[in-house]
Amino acid sequence: MPRSHAVALPVAYVALRILIVLNWLGGAAILALLTATIVAEEWTMTALGITPASPIRPMLMGLRAIAALGLIGVPLNHAVLARLVAIVQTVGRGDPFIAANAYRLNAIAWALLALQLLSMVIGGIGEALSTPDNPLDLDAGFSINGWLAVLLTFILARVFAEGALMREDLEGTV
Amino acid sequence: MAIAVKLDDLLHDRRMTLTELAERVGITIVNLSILKTGKARAIRFSTLEAICAALSCQPGDILEYLPDAAQEAEAA
């Protein structure tokens, strides 16, 4: 195995572990902010420097909806990252072409699909809230790359399933 | 599996051990044992050819189809 590949595996493992923690921390931050805007609206608005005359005020309900949808994304992100960690571990053990990885990739593909749909809904809300005077620039909406990743992952899951079957056959061959 | 492997009988007739056959055929004893005990799911033509050459026999002398075993397997 080339040295760069040998290094890539532990780097990927550590990076994924960090991303899992960051994902939950981000989710906790969104949840805290969302709760604060509901439980102590005025206090939060003052703390954020949003005056009663601010154009953000009428957008508040929409922004809350976006935050709530963002929270749905947290467990979906976790589903993707946790399964990627498990796949990386099987590569480390030298045994990645197993049926379990095919199921994991399939689950990742469905989670990515859900994330893409979520992103489109969030993008739609953003568009609805946005006005020429107060544009709301969200990094969400339809993404050709995102949908390509969904398609690619579904195909990869199928490739892994076939590969696992072929390997199983080969194992019993003398 | 309805295909029976008669390697044991052939080895007995030829007064040959599994180790000797493994050396002549060039595959491991573990793999030959898997074949002998009927646990193999498939056999390569190259393996069959090497065993036939080593034991001076035909593929039919090594493998046998047992229809009764097939029916029992289907019933189970």
Q: pLDDT (tens digit, 9 = 90+) per residue, B14-50?
A: 999 999 999 999 989 998 999 999 888 899 999 999 9
- For residue A24, the model assigns a pLDDT of 97
Between the CA of residue A75 and those of A21, A81, A159, what are the distances in Å?
12, 10, 26
**How many residues in total does chain A contain?**
174
pLDDT tens by residue, A76-100: 999 999 999 999 999 988 888 899 9
B39–A172 CB contact, under 8 Å: yes
Single out the residue of A97, A85, A70 nearest to residue A9, CA to CA: A85
- With 70 as the cut, is the pLDDT of residue B74 above it? no
What is the domain partition of chain B in residue ranges?
3-75
State the complex-level ipTM.
0.71
Q: What is the CATH number of domain B3-75?
A: 1.10.260.40
Q: Long-range CB contacts (< 8 A, 24+ apart) of A35-40? A: A37/A63, A37/A64, A38/A64
CA distance B41 to chain A (A): 5
pLDDT tens by residue, A127-150: 888 887 777 778 888 899 999 999
Task: Name the amino acid, one letter, at A148.
Answer: L
> Coil, helix or strand for A173?
strand
| Mean pLDDT computed over every residue of chain A | 89
Query: What is the H or E stretch that residue B3 is in?
Result: strand B3-5
- For residue B21, the model assigns a pLDDT of 94
- For residue A4, the model assigns a pLDDT of 61
B interface with A, Cβ–Cβ below 8 Å: 27, 31-32, 34-35, 39-44, 47
Tokens 């044992």 sit on residue:
B33
Between the CA of residue A138 and those of A95, A172, B17, what are the distances in Å?
41, 54, 75
Single out the residue of A118, A24, A34, A111 nearest to residue A69, CA to CA: A118
- With 60 as the cut, is the pLDDT of residue A1 above it? no
More confident call, A16 vs A56: A16
- For residue A3, the model assigns a pLDDT of 58
Set of chain A residues whose Cβ sits within 8 Å of the Cβ of B30: none
